[in-house]
């Protein structure tokens, strides 16, 4: 199955998407941390703020391809981080990784891009964006079905923590099952979308169990750190991982703008063929409102 976006032609030539301009691709390697950042850039530089995309569990820069294309074609440079041991970043022992080490990965990317970057995070990546944003000069914050910080989580039960292996794969998040079942559970995704997600989530366990246990125990976040930062939280009505009411609670806690998408699933927010554009347009409206 090809990973080539629909607007990219064989041979490297590109056509602008509807309503947009041509884009070009680049890459950033942070060798000291073994990180690979996939960058999609407007053909001409603009004054818009750069976007740093942070993925969630078992994922990588591939979850952001539609957004990277959409926003680069409209003047925003986008940089999709691959956390260590994810997708194109350097292989590492996941048993030695944690939520804290992933946070340092995000901070390293922010340091490279410079102050004034907008953080965009999904799932665990949303919580990573919150934690990194406490310590960095960010211009904006966009959270899609973000995992909740400690203040909004119920206390973790000991058996829940014991059930998390030191290294885990897609079976833990319910994606090692029949594609037909996944299509029923994620009604905004086509069978081709589901098969691609299953493939890219990995053929073997590679996620750090320590990071998941830290999330379950609760990662402390200071909401006052974002008092002067424009904030947008997006929830998904079909989300089986982060229920939409939890996203709304997070928005209230952060005093952020809230946008619910009732017909979207956890991955459908970014990856459904039609639905991703509705989400992208809501984010674009937020960015333009705050001149980001």
CA distances from 153 to 125, 128, 218, 250, 277 (A): 17, 16, 7, 10, 30
Average pLDDT value over all residues in the chain: 92
CA–CA dist 56, 67 (Å, integer) = 15
What's the CA gap between 12 and 3, in Å, rounded? 13
Q: Which two structure tokens, joined as six digits, stand for 125?
A: 């990546």
Residue recorded with tokens 């017909």: 263
Give the integer Cα–Cα distance in Å for 74 and 276. 15
List strands edge to edge, sheet with 78-82. 23-30, 35-42, 78-82, 51-54, 117-122, 138-144, 231-236, 257-261
**CATH 3.40.50.1820: does it fit domain 23-289?**
yes
- pLDDT given for residue 125 in this prediction: 98
For the segment 118-164, what is each residue's pLDDT rounded down to a tens digit?
Answer: 999 999 999 999 999 999 999 999 999 999 999 999 999 999 999 99
Q: Which two tokens stand for residue 284?
A: 């674009």
Give the whole-angstrom CA distance, residue 49 versus residue 190. Answer: 33
pLDDT per residue as tens digits for the range 190-224? 999 999 999 999 878 999 999 999 999 999 999 99
**The pairing of beta strand 51-54 with beta strand 117-122:** parallel
> What is the mean predicted confidence (pLDDT) over 28-36?
96
Q: Give the pLDDT band of residue 19 (cuts 50, 70, 90).
A: low
Is pTM, for the whole model, over 0.85? Answer: yes
pLDDT at residue number 4: 34
State pLDDT tens for residues 220-242. 999 999 999 999 999 999 999 99
Q: What is the reported pLDDT for 235? A: 98
> Per residue in 164-178, pLDDT tens?
999 999 999 999 999
Average pLDDT of the residues in 27-31: 96
């Amino acid at each position: 199955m090809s990973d080539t976006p629909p607007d990219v032609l064989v041979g490297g030539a590109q056509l602008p998407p509807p309503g947009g301009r041509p884009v070009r691709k680049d890459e950033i390697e942070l060798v000291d941390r073994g990180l690979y950042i996939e960058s999609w850039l407007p053909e001409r530089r603009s004054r818009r703020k750069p976007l740093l995309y942070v993925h969630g569990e078992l994922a990588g820069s591939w979850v952001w391809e539609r957004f990277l294309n959409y926003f680069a074609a409209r003047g925003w440079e986008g940089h999709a981080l691959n956390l260590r041991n994810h997708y194109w970043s350097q292989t590492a022992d996941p048993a030695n990784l944690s939520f804290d080490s992933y946070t340092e990965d995000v901070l390293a990317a922010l340091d490279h891009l410079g102050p004034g970057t907008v953080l965009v995070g999904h799932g665990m990546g949303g919580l990573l964006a919150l934690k990194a944003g406490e310590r960095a000069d960010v211009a904006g914050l966009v959270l899609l079905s973000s995992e909740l910080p400690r203040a909004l989580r119920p206390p973790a039960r000991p058996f829940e923590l014991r059930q998390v292996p030191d290294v885990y794969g897609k079976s833990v998040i319910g994606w090692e099952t029949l594609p037909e079942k996944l299509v029923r559970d994620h009604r905004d995704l086509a069978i081709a979308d589901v098969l691609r997600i299953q493939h890219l989530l990995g053929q073997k366990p590679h996620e750090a169990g320590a990071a998941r246990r830290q999330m379950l125990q609760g990662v402390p976040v200071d909401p006052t750190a974002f008092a002067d930062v424009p904030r947008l939280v997006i929830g998904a009505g079909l989300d089986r991982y982060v229920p939409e009411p939890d996203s709304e609670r997070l928005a209230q806690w952060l005093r952020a703008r809230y946008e619910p998408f009732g017909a979207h699933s956890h991955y459908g927010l970014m990856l459904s063929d039609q639905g991703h554009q509705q989400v992208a347009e809501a984010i674009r409206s937020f960015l333009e409102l705050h001149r980001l």
